[in-house]
Chain A
Amino acid sequence: AQSVTQLGSHVSVSEGALVLLRCNYSSSVPPYLFWYVQYPNQGLQLLLKYTTGATLVKGINGFEAEFKKSETSFHLTKPSAHMSDAAEYFCAVSRGNNAGNMLTFGGGTRLMVKP
């Protein structure tokens, strides 16, 4: 069984400040980990993913995340927040890269960026 916990349903930062969105997972097999962003009334857009290899993963829009197996974490960071980063962010885990593997989502974190 898999599960994802996102600490903090709401995170507020000032424009230009560091963004840190936390994600912890549990998985009985080596996980595939994803971060998605959702804007109001829209679907999900992939920010980045970890499958195997390098544990520091760089994504779009300046985001990156680091897979830490010992901490079962996959926190999302961005050095400097932009107003356009305000959105809902979801961390997700899957069992592998077969087409039939479903995604399990965390509860989401709403990022607010103050001017």
Chain B
Amino acid sequence: GAVVSQHPSWVICKSGTSVKIECRSLDFQATTMFWYRQFPKQSLMLMATSNEGSKATYEQGVEKDKFLINHASLTLSTLTVTSAHPEDSSFYICSASVERGYGYTFGSGTRLTVV
């Protein structure tokens, strides 16, 4: 149980285009999802916290107009990278808190390459 499905697993896009990444909780309701960014050989950096039905809370230094987060339902959160540039190339991972005390479950990640 407690599976988060993240799609796509990898995507290549041209500079200036937008890319949408989806995270779905398959067998539970995720009131809160977290979006992380991971550069090669580095740790996960929290980008934003996504709450169902409300605006996401972004970490300092993360451009909210560039990284649009939508959490319209209890089972779906999306991250849209708008007007992508090569420096946006990274590994993006979503996570959801499952139930009180259980912990957190992670999506399989999305490798974004902007060319």
**Interface residues, chain A, CB within 8 Å of chain B?**
34, 36, 41-46, 49, 51, 90, 94, 97-108, 110
Contacts and interface: CB of A to CB of B under 8 A. Distances in A.
Interface residues of B, number: 29
Contact of B43 (A46, A100, A108): A108
Given A90-B43, A103-B104, 15 more contacts: A34-B104, A42-B108, A43-B109, A46-B105, A51-B101, A97-B100, A99-B31, A99-B97, A100-B49, A101-B97, A102-B49, A104-B46, A106-B43, A107-B43, A108-B43
Interface of B: 4, 6, 9-10, 31-32, 34, 41-44, 46, 49, 51, 91, 93, 95, 97, 100-109, 111
A41 B109 contact: yes
Given A43-B6, A43-B93, A98 B100 contact: yes
B107 A100 contact: no
Task: Give the secondary structure class of A's interface.
Answer: loop
Contacts of A103: 34, 46, 95, 104
17 contacts: A41-B109, A41-B111, A44-B93, A45-B106, A46-B105, A98-B97, A99-B31, A100-B49, A100-B97, A102-B34, A103-B46, A104-B46, A105-B43, A105-B44, A106-B43, A107-B42, A108-B43
Contacts of A42: 108-109
Contact of A90 (B4, B44, B107): B44
A30 to B, nearest CB: 13
B103 A49 contact: yes
Nearest to B100: A97
A106 B9 CA distance: 24
B91 A97 contact: no
A105 B34 CA distance: 13
Given A100-B32, A105-B43, A108-B42, A46 B108 contact: no
Contacts of A101: 97
